[in-house]
Amino acid sequence: MLTQDEVRHIAKLAKINLTDSDVARLAPQLSGILDYFAVLQEVDTEGVAETSQVTGLESVTRPDEIHMSEIEAELINCTPHQVEDHCVKIPKIM
Amino acid sequence: MSLVQKTLKELSVAFKAGEITSREITEAFIKEIETRDGEINAFVTTTFDLAREMADAADSRYENGTLLSDLDGMPVTLKDVVCTAGVKTTASSNILKDFVPPYNATVWQKLKDAGAVLLGKVNTDEFTMGVSTETSAFGVTKNPHDLTKVSGGSSGGSAAAVAANFCAVSIGTDTGGSIRQPAHFCGCTGVKVSYGRVSRWGTIPMASSLDSVGCLAKTAEDCAMVLEVIAGKDVKDSTTPPVEVPKYTDTLDQPLKGLKIGIPQEYFIDGIEDEIVSVVDSTKAILETLGAKVVEVSLPHTKYGIAAYYIIAPSEISANLSRYDGIRYGSAVEGNSLEEIYTQTREQGFGDEVKRRILIGTYALSAGYYDAYYRKAQKVRTLVKQDFDTAFNEVDALLAPIFPTPAFEVGREADPLRDYIEDVLTIPANLAGICGVSVPVGKSKAGLPIGVQFLCKAFAEDRALNIAHQIEQTLS
């Protein structure tokens, strides 16, 4: 069972603000889902390799050539914040 | 038969023969959308002015004898996760509700280069996470066959748009069943391609090792026409292997005589409705009439697919969606610190299901839990894949149900875990990276469509489309 404090901790890691009522609603839902995952313990995976991709491709490379994107300004302007000198203006970090 | 009821193939043939213009076809679809989308809600954004412009350009190409492809002048819709330069792309999420991408996804660029006409962007569950479009920030898409039912998800907008004759073909995505299930709910044909068959570049990701971009249409032949255009290696997506793209339309007519088709016994789960099972039975009978041999097969790890998927997918989701931080794109909540901008933008921008999956993924990947959840799930993924490898040593394709029921009610009681478990019949194909085609075969007593899926090994879309086409020909 996931406690409400644990839900708050995960939310903090995920950088999502949650209200107390969100936490109260989500805790039992997430616990139910995590409990369900216990079914995997029935499976013997001793010596089984992990699958992280299915294509069989390895170390895909391409020629090291420079291509200009030509939409640099448009990409930066996707920001909801002010743009100055090709930079997005955000609150101070330090 | 009215224009909008015609298949892509029929429209394409008529256009190329000079019997009809692209503008006339486009106007017919626009009229249909304007008349009925108010009650169905398939579209997030319509692009009628752009469509008219593109149609007129196609008509000029026809006049000049410079048509680009069989798709030239053909109206399409795109699931609203496919980035379209200058046209809003929202992923049906508040966090991207005003996002206008400056570039085209490869799949749309290829269609555009082939002359296709864009009618608009269609609804999806938020970031493709859901089974009904009910997690969309822009409301549910209703089922054109019965407005009290959902269109399915997550590509529900695509399936409804095809079923309601709003377009001849729609691009969707399938990460755990998101093309096949809505195709089943709405009575259209849908192709879930092998992982890597179609470039994912520019398509807003959910779970990168599972996502696939495919299409929905009225027939397998139409899907084959589209797949010939959109499939293939893309230097911008390094997960697209250099496997040749066959001419899928050339092999549709191959007889099924001598094919061996397996029915996985584990797919007849508790709770599956009799009407679904009986449609699988009638499909089996058709296959036997066509000369195929149908045998029972076993995919023993099927039931573990859901748990593996709902660890792996949320883990990838938690990483993929970290980019929505209120800084680079999308909407932002003003704050005094970066932390405030991040946490409040994500609180207000994401819906409940997206938050749930990010939290599950964050938990599964966090220190101390990684081995128990993520690593274990990836090992089980191997076993699920091996089940298919073993089966495909014996059979050419698998015939299986898609979902335990036909389309369910709009607004049924929320239950996240039940929604996950219902994906049991579609998820394993994504874990294994194989391909599949869903075909409408029957109807329930209540008149709702029921489909079946044909699953084939990776990069055997030609075989799956061939079988689907033969079934459709027999039924028509």
A61 located within any domain: no
Number of structural domains in chain A: 1
Q: How many CA atoms lie within 13 A of B424 on its CB side?
A: 21
Question: Does any domain span residue A63?
Answer: no
Is there a domain that residue A38 lies in? yes
Are residues B356 and A49, on separate chains, in Cβ contact within 8 Å? no
Closest residue in B to A76 (Cα) is B328
Residue pLDDT, tens place only, B285-342:
999 999 999 999 999 999 999 999 999 999 999 999 999 999 999 999 999 999 999 9
- List the one residue out of B262, B324, B51 whose CA is nearest residue B167: B51
**Domain count for chain B:** 1
pLDDT score recorded for residue B39: 98
Evaluate whether residue A89 is within a structural domain: no
pLDDT tens for each residue of B57-97:
999 999 999 999 999 999 999 999 999 999 999 999 999 99
A30 inside domain: yes
Interface contact A40, partner B, CB < 8 A: yes
Q: What DSSP string describes B386-397?
A: HHHHHHHHH-SE
Contacts of B316 (CB under 8 A, 6+ apart): B206, B207, B208, B209, B210, B361
**Low-confidence residues in chain B, pLDDT < 70:** none
CB contact under 8 A, B360 and A40: no
Does the annotation mark B79 as catalytic?
yes
Contact between chains at B375 and A50 (C-beta distance less than 8 A)? yes
Q: Is B347 domain-assigned?
A: no
Terminal CA-CA length for chain A = 38
Distance of alpha carbon B257 from alpha carbon B293, whole angstroms: 8
Residues spanned by the domain of A9: 4-42
CATH value at residue A20: 1.10.20
Of A11, A79, A90, the CB nearest to B338: A90
- What's the confidence (pLDDT) of residue A60? 87
* Cβ contact, residue pair A10, B355, below 8 Å: no
Nearest chain A CA: its distance from B240 CA (Å): 8
Residue B260 designated active-site? no
Test B380 with A26 for CB contact under 8 angstroms: no
Phi/psi of residue B357, nearest 5 degrees: -70, -35
- Mutant choice from B90, B345, B359, B370 vs A, greatest count of A C-beta within 10 A: B359
Q: Is residue A71 part of a domain?
A: no
CATH number of the domain that residue B11 is part of: 3.90.1300.10
Is B366 a member of any domain? Answer: no
- Predicted TM-score of the model (pTM): 0.98
**Tell me: the pLDDT tens digits for B102-132?**
999 999 999 999 999 999 999 999 999 999 9
Shortest alpha-carbon distance between residue B95 and chain A (Å): 11
Q: Mean pLDDT score of chain B, rounded to an integer?
A: 97
Contacts of A75 in chain B (CB under 8 A): 102
Say if residue A12 is exposed, middle or buried (CB neighbours under 10 Å; 0-12, 13-18, 19+): middle
Residue B177: domain span: 3-250
Residue with structure tokens 């409990």? A35
Q: What is the identity of the amino acid at B43? A: F
